[in-house]
Amino acid sequence: MVVRDADRPEAGVIRLRVPLGERSYDVLVGAGARDELAGLLPPTARRAAVVTQEPVGVKIDTGREQAVFLVPDGEEAKSLSVVEDLCRRFAGFGLTRDDVVVGVGGGVVTDLAGFAASVYLRGVAVAHVATTLLAQVDAAIGGKTGVNLPEGKNLVGTFWQPVAVICDTESLASLPPRQLASGRGEMAKYEFLGVSGLGSLPIEEAVAACVACKVAVVGADERETSGRRALLNYGHTLAHALETAGCYDILHGEAVAVGLVFAARLARRLELIDDARVRLHEQVVSGFDLGYSLPPGSSAKELITIMGRDKKAVAGLTFVLDGPHGLCLTPGVDPNVVGQVLAEMGAR
Ligand SMILES: NC(=O)c1ccc[n+]([C@@H]2O[C@H](COP(=O)([O-])OP(=O)(O)OC[C@H]3O[C@@H](n4cnc5c(N)ncnc54)[C@H](O)[C@@H]3O)[C@@H](O)[C@H]2O)c1
């Protein structure tokens, strides 16, 4: 449920609750929401280890003894060696089980900080201050953490729910335009998860609507056991493969935009949807000012091999596909059909 924060109506902060029993937490969305951070951290925490990156530049006050730990920029930073380094620096700071890690940044920082917090001392509390559009609408919420291996994206990770998430829309002002566009790729996904008209909403309401959708899914299937949470990965099977194959030259949300149209064309080939539905996918993606061409030189064979290693792939190639009953996790898709659709989209 989206509710204006009764404590701060003047600030226009929207508060959403992630309902997970004793691990429930709030997500605050709106301009100036980061001012609420200190009050959302565990009262026991005396120290806060703030994990961030140099370009982020968002200042926060945890109300505790705080130390800032910079991590490298870019997808390559999501590695086990960076996690080891972070944990060693936490130990050097004297971070205890009662303390808190605060990730301040985009999805790279929140994935890294969340993972490090989940394994340091077998788990310390983490809060996220999401500073990119992509992290606000998706990455910072729901407790999935992870790092990459050379073999693929997010192949090592944990479920570790944060104690709070802040989506301060003021921090988006300094975001490079390409990063904003990447966030819109993830927003486009929500249009197929039942949240329509995002493009016409004020930014804080658009972010809150995406968060509300993700919160509902996570609340119903925290650990992706019923298959419902996997639907949040719509467009992501090809997206992750494009990122891995392109050594992350393509941004995550840019890759999701291509993945959404690919998934629609694949569903059309499998006669699950009609041409009009494919066109709707193309229009939604274009409406968010994103392209859906495959990167030049994409190899169908390489992409299919990488997609075979996707975490969802339990029985052959597995995709979330649109169909007569909405989105559905679809295992055992014929690689030849996938290759044909990729070829149609320009893969060699
Ligand atoms: N855990 C999940 O559920 C989940 C979901 C979706 C995506 N992800 C992950 O999120 C990652 C992508 O996240 P992203 O798109 O936020 O990229 P990112 O974290 O790499 O951030 C993009 C760039 O923007 C900079 N930046 C961040 N905030 C800024 C600000 N306010 N002003 C100026 N610069 C700023 C960063 O330093 C970085 O250079 C991927 O690794 C993806 O796998 C995770």
Closest CA to 109 of 86, 88, 93, 90: 86
Among the atoms of ligand 1, which is closest to the Cα of residue 153? 43
pLDDT at 340 > cutoff 90: yes
The pLDDT, as a whole number, for residue 227 is: 85
Q: How far is ligand 1, taken at its centre, from the CA of residue 207, in Å?
A: 15
Q: How far is ligand 1, taken at its centre, from the CA of residue 74, in Å?
A: 8
Q: Which residue has the higher pLDDT, 288 or 3?
A: 288
SS3 21: helix
**Binning pLDDT at 50, 70 and 90, where does residue 22 land?**
very high
Testing ligand 1's pocket by substitution, the residue of 51, 54, 56, 237 carrying the most ligand atoms inside 8 A of its CB is 56
Testing ligand 1's pocket by substitution, the residue of 51, 52, 53 carrying the most ligand atoms inside 8 A of its CB is 53
Angle CA 331–220–257, to nearest 5: 55
The pLDDT, as a whole number, for residue 312 is: 66
pTM above 0.85, yes or no: yes
Angle CA 56–290–264, to nearest 5: 120
Q: Can you tell me the mean pLDDT for 162-181?
A: 97
The pLDDT, as a whole number, for residue 246 is: 84
Q: Are 307 and 317 in contact (CB under 8 A)?
A: yes
Closest residue to atom 21 of ligand 1, CA basis: 106
Residues in the chain: 348
| Spatial distance between the Cα atoms of 50 and 319, rounded to a whole number of angstroms | 36
Q: What is the DSSP letter of 305?
A: H
The pLDDT, as a whole number, for residue 310 is: 74
**Binning pLDDT at 50, 70 and 90, where does residue 311 land?**
low
Residues classed as catalytic: 122, 144, 186, 214, 224, 229, 233, 236, 240, 252
**Binning pLDDT at 50, 70 and 90, where does residue 12 land?**
confident
Least reliable range by pLDDT among 2-6, 24-28, 154-158, 167-171? 2-6
Q: Which residue has the higher pLDDT, 226 or 164?
A: 164
E strand or H helix at 346: none
Q: Can you tell me the mean pLDDT for 225-229?
A: 87
pLDDT at 18 > cutoff 80: yes
Q: CB of 103 closer than 6 A to ligand 1?
A: no
Q: CB of 135 closer than 6 A to ligand 1?
A: yes
| Spatial distance between the Cα atoms of 260 and 238, rounded to a whole number of angstroms | 9
Average per-residue pLDDT for the chain: 94
- As a whole number of angstroms, the longest Cα–Cα distance in the chain is 59
Q: Which residue has the higher pLDDT, 2 or 41?
A: 41
Testing ligand 1's pocket by substitution, the residue of 134, 184, 186, 310 carrying the most ligand atoms inside 8 A of its CB is 134
Among the atoms of ligand 1, which is closest to the Cα of residue 55? 37
- In percent, the amount of the chain with pLDDT more than 90 equals 89
Alpha-carbon radius of gyration of the chain: 20
The pLDDT, as a whole number, for residue 10 is: 44
